[in-house]
Amino acid sequence: MDYFFIGEGELVTAFRFVGINGIAVYNAEDALAAFKRITVGWHETAGTVLPQDTYGTGTCHVLIITEEVADWLGNTLVEWQLSDNYPLIVEIPGLLGRHPGRKTLVDSIREAIGVHV
């Protein structure tokens, strides 16, 4: 299974150390362009349409993004997650840690099953 990462430049470097390629993004516009590059498979650059494999993302099955990138993507991300397509999306905390008010996976599971161990 192939992975790809979208987030801060420092985290892109860290993920490359473990063999996962990525794209550094710094604002909502960059995040949306990178997300479309991975999910749709095409990206326009200076009037030229390049295939997805040009970026090394042709076989991405799991897309790892930071919570900040998820916030930037907003409804686009929600629509993708509901579409039942690959890549699957995994959100992780960014360099500054977990966003306030976000539930952890464990908290979500506890809420769903109603058991607190």
Segments making up each domain of the chain, as ranges? 2-113
* Rounded average pLDDT over 16-34: 92
Q: What was the pLDDT predicted at 42?
A: 45
Residue carrying the six token digits 């916030």: 71
Band (49; pLDDT cuts 50, 70, 90): very low
Return the percentage of the chain with pLDDT > 90, whole number.
34
For residue 97, give the nearest of 55, 58, 56, 68 by alpha carbon.
Answer: 68
Q: Tell me the pLDDT tens digit for each residue of 88-111.
A: 898 888 776 666 666 665 666 677
Mean pLDDT of 5-23: 91
Residue type, 29: E
Average of per-residue pLDDT values in the chain: 78
pLDDT the model gives residue 102: 66
Q: How far apart are the first and last CA of the chain?
A: 32
| pLDDT value at residue 55 | 47
Mean pLDDT of 40-56: 47
Question: What is residue 110's predicted lDDT score, i.e. its pLDDT?
Answer: 73
The fold for domain 2-113 equals: Rossmann fold (3.40.50)
Partner residues linked to 92 by β-bridges = 66
The dihedral through the CA atoms of 81, 86, 90, 91 has a sign that is negative
